[in-house]
Chains A and B, each alone.
Chain A
Amino acid sequence: MSSLLIEKTSPTAYFRKQKLTLTLFLLGMIFVSWGASVLTQFDLFDAFAAIPRVAAWMTANLLPDAKAWSRLPRILDKLWDTILMSVMASVAASVVSFVFAILGSVTTRPNGVFAFLARTIASINRNIPVAAWAMIFLLSFGQSSFTGFLALFFATFGFLTRAFMETIDEASASSVEALRAAGASYSQVIAQAVIPASLPQMMSWVLYMVETNIRSATLVGLLTGSGIGFMFSVYYKSLQYRSASLVVLSIVVVVLAIELISNAVRRVIL
């Protein structure tokens, strides 16, 4: 409003300019997409035209048959392992992340050195993707579910530390100041202001990481030979597509279910 007055722009001209910007942006996007498809020789039109054919092939070859269904108990068993591993990795990482976030956040850092260390370690961790972690631990620990756990743990730790630091600064900075002013000690401030103010948001982040980790666990399992990812690769490599597709289906169902559950939990805590 005030900037309009300062620039002496009439509302009509202002909105016309906005529309023009939007149009140019859309044209730019179309151009970039077209350019990219030319460069990569990916024809969008062909891709769309192929959809019916792909769908037909999928129904013919990927629908789980009786043999695939008979393997369901084993699949569910592995799936359960995977869920457990994701939850464990998320919970374990959230404890460590909480400590690092307290040390690193602007509001609660005890001193600059700790804060710098905590932030640096977390941000290095965060920039290494989970697949890279899997490969790193694969080299040191070989194919095992522990390797998968470690990969998920470190990727989660990096992400959660950053998310927790932001949550602490956003949710508790003002009350932390009030408690300090009243003479509260550092540990009192953490227990009485930081935790009650930021815990629900932090739990929401942990739930998000559980969801994410169940998805990544599939990928990590492919690499580390554990859990549901391993199951998939066994069926896939032995060309048992119908069983492999049942694995995929069950993953999708579980991911959706977990998302529904965590949304319900979020509604209660937030």
Chain B
Amino acid sequence: MALLEVERLTKFYGDSRALSDVTFKIKKGQFVAVIGPSGSGKTTLIRCINRLIDASDGSIRYDKEDILALKGAALRHARAKIGMIFQHYNLVYRLTVIENVLHGRLGYKSSIAGVLGMYTEEEKTKAVEVLQLLGLEDYVYRRCDQLSGGQKQRVGIARALVQDPRMILCDEPISSLDPSSAKIIMDYLRRIQKDLGITILVNLHQVDVAKRYAERILGFNAGHLVFDGPPSELNKKRIHEIYGTEAGELIID
């Protein structure tokens, strides 16, 4: 049974088409990487899935729900079940680590409880557990602007995890990190998928990273899904098709 079904998804920005007729399904618990040159529609795809932007046409089903038809409280609830991780972490840097992590619970709370920041003991305990899982137990009450990039991204992952999501969307989670922090983050994503069974859909800039971590790769070019298969099928020729003329200059180990 597929967790996510994207069918004939199309997105226009004004007259320009960012996604064309994109169709794919993702099974529960898969680790899927999305690759493609910049401007090929990777971010647009991810944002259409949790409705940060509205698709122009097509359908998205997540956990049996018709995402594009949702409104108000129902949309909030669907979003709560999808985690998201950003290239620039998108934390509230003046708040502490645990305050940022607890933001992941807002989708489940009444508006007023969320406004006042009234979290249950259970939620707080859960937040601390998740931080331990990510090796941040010594930073629970630290302000986020005092953390390194890799630590900030781990807070971002923790915030997504306390949502109890079935799937986590990641938009270039390692593009702002040095190689060793990047490896730590990718390893955590893999552990989350293997140990917790959470589906990972991750946009990546680096083909080699996608091949190393993903079970399945989606390749985009100019808004079209031009590759959909396991890393083993992603040979030079297919990479060339995804990246077009840039391929000759690609650095692949």
Contact = CB atoms under 8 A, between A and B. Distances in A.
A196 B93 CA distance: 9
Contacts of B92: 172, 175, 192-193, 196-197
B76 interface: yes
Interface residues of B, number: 35
Given A188-B114, A188-B115, A196-B94, A182 B52 contact: no
Interface string A166-187: 0000001011011111111101
A174 B88 contact: yes
A117 interface: no
B159 A183 contact: no
A191 interface: yes
Residue among B76, B83, B89 with most chain A CB within 10 A = B76
A178 B90 contact: yes
B205 interface: no
Contact of B95 (A185, A188, A196): A196
Nearest to A189: B106
A184 B103 contact: yes
B111 A182 contact: no
B124 interface: no
Interface string B151-194: 00000100110010000000000000000000000000000000
Interface in A125-181: 172, 174-175, 177-181
B117 A185 contact: no
Contacts of B114: 184-185, 187-188, 191-192
A183 B111 contact: no
B84 A182 contact: yes
B106 A185 contact: yes
Contacts of B78: 183
A167 to B, nearest CB: 13
Chain A interface extent, by class:
20 to 34
Contacts of A178: 84, 86, 90-91, 103, 156, 159
B108 A183 contact: yes
Nearest to A188: B114
Contacts of B115: 187-188, 190-192
Nearest to A186: B111
Contacts of A177: 52, 86, 90
A192 B80 contact: no
B150 interface: no
Interface string B69-98: 000000111111011101011111111000
A200 B106 contact: no
Given A180-B52, A192-B92, A185 B86 contact: no
Nearest to A270: B94
A181 B160 CA distance: 10
B44 interface: no
B79 A192 contact: no
B91 A192 contact: no
B158 to A, nearest CB: 12
Contacts of A193: 92, 103
Contact of A197 (B50, B86, B94, B111): B94
B155 to A, nearest CB: 11
Nearest to A194: B92
A36 to B, nearest CB: 47
B94 A182 contact: no
A183 B78 CA distance: 7
Interface string B200-212: 0000000000000
Nearest to B72: A185
Contact of A179 (B89, B94, B103, B108): B103
B219 interface: no
25 contacts: A172-B92, A174-B89, A175-B92, A177-B86, A178-B90, A178-B156, A178-B159, A182-B83, A182-B84, A182-B103, A182-B107, A182-B159, A182-B163, A183-B79, A183-B107, A184-B76, A184-B103, A184-B106, A185-B76, A187-B115, A192-B92, A192-B103, A192-B114, A192-B115, A192-B117
